Amino acid sequence: VADFVDTAQLHVRAGRGGAGAVSFRREAHVAKGGPDGGDGGSGGSVFLKASSAQSSLIGLRDHPFRAAQDGGHGRGKNRHGAAGDDLVVELPVGTVVKTLEGDFVAEVLDPAVVYEIARGGRGGAGNARFLSNRRRAPAFGEQGELGEEKWFNLELKLMADVALVGEPNVGKSSLISVMSRARPKIADYPFTTLIPHLGVVVSPERGNFVVADVPGLIEGAADGRGLGHEFLRHIERARVLALVCDISQGERECLASVLTLLGELVRYRSELGERPRLLVGTKLDLCQDTSEASERARSVAAATECARYVVVSNATHEGVRECMGAFSEYVSRARESSSVVSAEVVHRPAPRFEVEVKRISEDRFELSGRDALRAVSLSDITTQDALSVVHGRLTRIGAIRALRRAGAIQGDEVMIGDYVFVYEDD
Ligand SMILES: Nc1nc2c(ncn2[C@@H]2O[C@H](COP(=O)(O)OP(=O)(O)OP(=O)(O)O)[C@@H](O)[C@H]2O)c(=O)[nH]1
Ligand SMILES: [Mg+2]
């Protein structure tokens, strides 16, 4: 039996941090007061979490680009920029998230667990932060840091919300093909469908849900008759069972057919008897009297404890809309009752300084990585003041030590972003 896998790619961009402001206080009698440039706000981060309201990744295929909000810039009078809003991307329960290189990132299962996958950029410090005894009038602020930006591969092993269970030839494949874009083979002979097919039913009001069209079930299936019970595991995972029968038959035949289905399901797994179930009577267009057919469905549903019944024609599409409505209603209910509520947990990748040293030639090195770039991200690094700030930062993140270890000596060139510095032995 084939495994149904839904895949999509996701591109996320966390918000950029706002720039720190360069500003000096204006006072009535002072030409130039102290620095009062506020800090930039941090950019929003991007998180992933499971949501039982989602059932497929098709939404992401249409909109793969998701971004959190940028932080606001700092302003004068020590006004700080606002932090950008985070973005939470909701994925169907069971989605496996990997990098494009195939490294495992997360499997979202519990709606209370949130995964940080792209960190927002830190806001830049305003010039007020750079005031010190030696530096009375810092004329530089710090730029905001870029947010992380990444691609991910997503993979979801589809689980059906509704399984269409019925004897061969009753119109299960026909029904899924009028409700979704699934196109299983349809033909007027039993066992046309040999493997389960899944279709995503698009329901803007209640959220999409997945319907499984499984091969026809006959008496003895639980013992391996017909196509056996290989595919019954797809039914096992469905939240709602739709028992499908040909309602153009007499009431006795319909009832016998549904009782057979129920008997086989329960024999396979007794819990299936407790699963919410609906009755779908097909081939309504072949009935002389539709209200009589409806009455037949009502009484079969009552006798077999189906929560609801609908009658449809896959030929004229009569009743199909109502059938989809009934499915989505019961799927929503089942999702609500199964959603666990526990305390929220946030997973963040362990923070560490990101500095990389690469020797480009005999006397040239390149420093890269988020923290190295941040160390030089001042609005103006041409002043001695600013350079000493840069040096202090490079020391703190271990960049100077890393350069020494990599063999840098007095006079070597060190490239960081767009800048070139000269390495000096302290
Ligand atoms: N008139 C009419 N014919 C239908 C309707 N639904 C299905 N059929 C026909 O019934 C036959 C069987 O339909 P399928 O959808 O292949 O039935 P199935 O339940 O998937 O059958 P298996 O895959 O063999 O279990 C086809 O000839 C369909 O065209 C309906 O509502 N009205
Ligand atoms: Mg079929």
Q: Which of 186, 191, 248, 323 maximizes ligand 1 atoms within 8 Å of its Cβ, making it the mutation to test the pocket?
A: 186
Dist. CA 277–CA 163, nearest whole Å: 10
Ligand 2 centre to CA of 192 (Å) is 5
Measuring from each residue's beta carbon to the nearest atom of ligand 1, which residues come in under 6 Å? Answer: 166, 168-174, 186-188, 190-193, 215-216, 282-283, 285-286, 313-315
pLDDT at 2: 40
0.75 cut: is pTM over it? no
Around ion ligand 2, which residues have CB less than 5 A away? 173, 192-193
Cα-atom radius of gyration of the chain, to the nearest Å?
32
Can you name the residues that pair with 115 across neighbouring β-strands? Answer: 48, 347
Structure tokens at 270: 């007794």
Dist. CA 75–CA 24, nearest whole Å: 11
- Ligand lying nearest the CA atom of residue 170: 1
Q: Which of 164, 167, 169, 310 maximizes ligand 1 atoms within 8 Å of its Cβ, making it the mutation to test the pocket?
A: 169
Q: Which atom of ligand 1 is nearest to the CA of 167?
A: 25
- 133 alpha-carbon distance from chain centroid: 50
Which DSSP letter does residue 391 get?
H
Please give the backbone phi and psi of residue 212, each rounded to the nearest 5 degrees, phi first: -105, 130
- 75 alpha-carbon distance from chain centroid: 36
Dist. CA 253–CA 407, nearest whole Å: 87
pLDDT at 354: 82
pLDDT at 220: 78
Dist. CA 336–CA 338, nearest whole Å: 5
**Backbone region of residue 126 per phi and psi (left: phi > 0; alpha: psi in -120 to 50; beta: other values):** beta
- Give the position of tokens 């129920």: 262
Dist. CA 184–CA 175, nearest whole Å: 10
DSSP of 43-93, one letter per residue?
PPPEEEEEETT---SHHHHH--EEEPPPPPPPBTTTBPPPPPPPEEEEEET
Cβ atoms of 135 and 146 closer than 8 Å:
no
Contacts of 180 (CB under 8 A, 6+ apart): 199, 200, 201, 202, 211
At position 275, the amino acid (one-letter code) is R
Neighbours of 345 (CB within 10 A): 10
Cβ atoms of 277 and 330 closer than 8 Å:
no
Q: Which residues of the chain have pLDDT under 70?
A: 1-5, 30-31, 158, 227-230, 233-234, 338-344, 350-351, 426
**DSSP H helices in 282-383:** 290-303, 320-338, 370-375
Cβ atoms of 112 and 341 closer than 8 Å:
yes
